[in-house]
Structure 1
Amino acid sequence: MGRDVRQQAREQLAALEEPVGGDEPAAQGLHGDVLLVARLLSVAAENRRDGGREPSVTADDVGAALTLFEGMREQLDRLEAQAVLEARRHAMDWRRIAAHQGLNSSQAASQRYQRLITRLEEIRQGVR
């Protein structure tokens, strides 16, 4: 999926009215974690550009960032599953969903959704 298509999607979604209750908690947590990791990487890159005289990012900082990824992955999976359910509620068929996900077939989209649901159920049951 090209950058222009993603930018159009961002603009379309940014134009939506915010719900009365605010963002979903999963989206808020994910957004915050993404910003924290991005900040760490930005500080590390800036430090490298400055010659790295005083390392302001430690190995423990990088480790803390890495710790967040499994939670972010789970939140993304949950959000994607919810988005697919919403697409189905809006009578989108699997072929159309597949096209939006950058997949080649309706079967691929359906299988992806099933993998998401299975993974989330395993997490809920403590299997993963």
Structure 2
Amino acid sequence: MSGEGALGHRPLVYAPLEFRLRSGGGQAKGKAFITCPKCDAPMFIRRSERQTETVKHIDAHCTNTGCTMTGMFELVFVHFFNPGLLDRADLKLKACPRDQIPHVLPPPREEADDGQISMFDPS
């Protein structure tokens, strides 16, 4: 028997590094809360600290093992779309300009399926 052992040069275990940051096991590449400014990979949030009611500091590190950048990010409240139900006279929050309020629209209608019965069709 040679000095290589029974397995030769193969590793005992092959386990590629994989980061699953989204529920359901999918990767959060484009939908990560924080994206690395250097390599665009998702970043893990290690710690966060609230500075004021509208500012939070976040310590995060890159999941890309070739990058591994770490840094502090600042999460800042910009404006509200809906003021909510609670009133706080001591907190002056800026409202979103009316022309910038996002609207949730229904999905576009697809071509009618002739075999599908419509509950709204009067015929």
User: For this structure pair, what is the TM-score category when the shorter chain's length is used for normalisation?
Assistant: under 0.3
| Greater strand share, structure number | 2
Relative contact order, CA 8 A, sep 6+: which one is greater? 1
User: Could you say which structure has the larger radius of gyration?
Assistant: 2
